[in-house]
Amino acid sequence: MSNKYRLICTACGADCGDFSDWFAHDQKCSCGCQRAEAVYNADYGKLFDGEGFEDSLFRYFDFLPLEDRANVVSCGEGAEPIEEWDFLEEYARSKHGIDCKVFVVRNDLNGGSGTFKDIAAALGASIFKEKGVRNFCLASTGNAATAFSRYCSLAGVTFDVFMPNDVCKDTADTIRSHGQILHISQGGYGAAKKEAADFHVRENVLISAGNIDPIRVEAKRTMAFEFLRQLGKMPDVFFQAVAGGTGPIALDKGVRELQKYYDKNIKMPRLILAQQDTCDPMVRAWEKATAENFPKGWEKDYPTVIPQTKISILSAGTPGMYPVVAPMVRATKGGFVRVQESELASLAKKIQERTGVIFGPASMVCFAGFRQALAQNMIHQGETILLNIGEGSERARWFAKEVEDCK
């Protein structure tokens, strides 16, 4: 039984113990709820005193659900630089008359797989190592699969990953290069999730609890700490491309934690979440709710779409986390925006000309979302904007070629 943290059920408030207990009870509270949040026995006055792991999320070791530093599995992730991009500020000023500060979280510099998923995979592998977990499985459209294949390999954990039939070849090759086991479904992401769930039951293998998995949330909520450490405050607006929505869920948890234990005056950023027009179920649901003035039960009214996108990591046609994420967006007075997938390569070319870097397509959905929000008057004078970009182009070589071919 851990003296460092407890997992508390978000539905009934029950104490679910530590991760040993959580895994032993199939990652559920006795009430049946699969969502739990960690509460720490820690001095938040020492939040930024991190030592020994200054270049990763483990600088916050005292505020993570891990007992022994010897179990840390890290490739240098979660403490990437937050850069101010003045050319995006100039774009906002010259094109829309908006003076704002624009910062970019460089998740492409994460040391594991160069994606935002590395943070969760690093904490997950460390917990598995500490708790003696030898086998793990999940369903993924790409980035989580790549990240967990790397970190599980480092932790000596056998990893079975189930992916849809449109899996990117580069992703498949990377997973296999780490010695992990890839199962390619005959169907889409929904079919892959069912196959993973069946495998979990049949083989008694630990499975990811998805976007509300406390491993993912507890890891990713450290971005709130990083925003405060590097910027000195929370941004006014937070942008991210979404398929599921762990990022906003985790940011919300991190901000609530800071408000309660560190500084009650810290504000949750306004959430503006972007999807491409070729797979945009959350945007469609939001537009319907807005048009109907958010009637009772609006958050449970969302469509399932057949993805037509080439961005496999943003190809979730059934937005199961919409009922969790959308109320957060509304509470912050934010919104969802739709961007054109056909325009992403040309935008990436323009950004490459200014930065020397080609970013991946999911990152470009975030950048395009910023431009779309400006066009829709969703950004105000004097605001601090933060773009949480997803990945670098090495995760999608097909996109890098499209960018290079742009005139």
pLDDT band at 44 (very low <50, low <70, confident <90, very high): very high
pLDDT band at 297 (very low <50, low <70, confident <90, very high): very high
Output the six-digit token pair for 47: 């939040």
Q: Does 3.30.300.30 match the CATH number of domain 82-111+215-405?
A: no
| pLDDT tens digits along 149-200 | 999 999 999 999 999 888 878 888 889 999 999 999 998 888 999 999 999 9
- CA 397 to CA 347: how far, in whole Å? 16
pLDDT band at 392 (very low <50, low <70, confident <90, very high): confident
CB neighbours of 392 closer than 8 A, spacing ≥ 6? 108, 109, 114, 115, 357, 358, 359, 360, 363
| pLDDT tens digits along 361-382 | 999 999 999 999 999 999 999 9
Q: Give the per-residue pLDDT at 360.
A: 93
- CA 209 to CA 247: how far, in whole Å? 15
CB 248 within 8 A of CB 332: no
- CA 247 to CA 211: how far, in whole Å? 9
pLDDT band at 114 (very low <50, low <70, confident <90, very high): confident
Q: Give the per-residue pLDDT at 111.
A: 87
Q: Which residues of 220-240 are buried (b: 16+ CB within 10 A; e: fewer)?
A: bbbbbbbbbbeeeebbbbbbb
Q: Give the per-residue pLDDT at 54.
A: 80
Q: Give the per-residue pLDDT at 299.
A: 98
pLDDT band at 350 (very low <50, low <70, confident <90, very high): very high
Q: Give the per-residue pLDDT at 50.
A: 76
Q: Give the per-residue pLDDT at 204.
A: 96
% residues pLDDT > 70 (the chain): 100
184 bridge partner residues: 163
> Could you please report the per-residue DSSP string of 252-321?
HHHHHHHHHHT-TT--PPEEEEEEETTS-HHHHHHHHHHHTT--TTGGG---------S-GGG--SS-TT
| pLDDT tens digits along 214-270 | 999 999 999 999 999 999 999 999 999 999 899 999 999 999 999 999 999 999 999
What DSSP element (H or E) covers 96?
A: helix 86-96
Mean pLDDT, the chain, as a whole number? 94
pLDDT at 129 over 80: yes
pLDDT at 51 over 80: no
Backbone phi, psi, residue 102, to 5°: -125, 120
Q: Which residues of 273-308 are buried (b: 16+ CB within 10 A; e: fewer)?
A: bbbbebbbbbbbbbeebeeeeeeeebbeebeebebe
Output the six-digit token pair for 373: 């929000």
Output the six-digit token pair for 137: 């499985």
CB 65 within 8 A of CB 39: no
pLDDT band at 206 (very low <50, low <70, confident <90, very high): very high
Choose the weakest-confidence range: 64-68, 82-86, 294-298, 309-313. Answer: 309-313
- CA 386 to CA 37: how far, in whole Å? 25
| pLDDT tens digits along 328-342 | 999 999 999 999 999
CB 229 within 8 A of CB 84: no
pLDDT at 395 over 80: no
> Could you please report the per-residue DSSP string of 148-174?
HHHHHHHHT-EEEEEE-TT--HHHHHH
pLDDT at 356 over 80: yes
Q: Higher-confidence residue: 370 or 111?
A: 370
Output the six-digit token pair for 273: 């979440």
Q: Give the per-residue pLDDT at 342.
A: 97
pLDDT at 115 over 90: no
Mean local confidence (pLDDT), 91-106 = 97
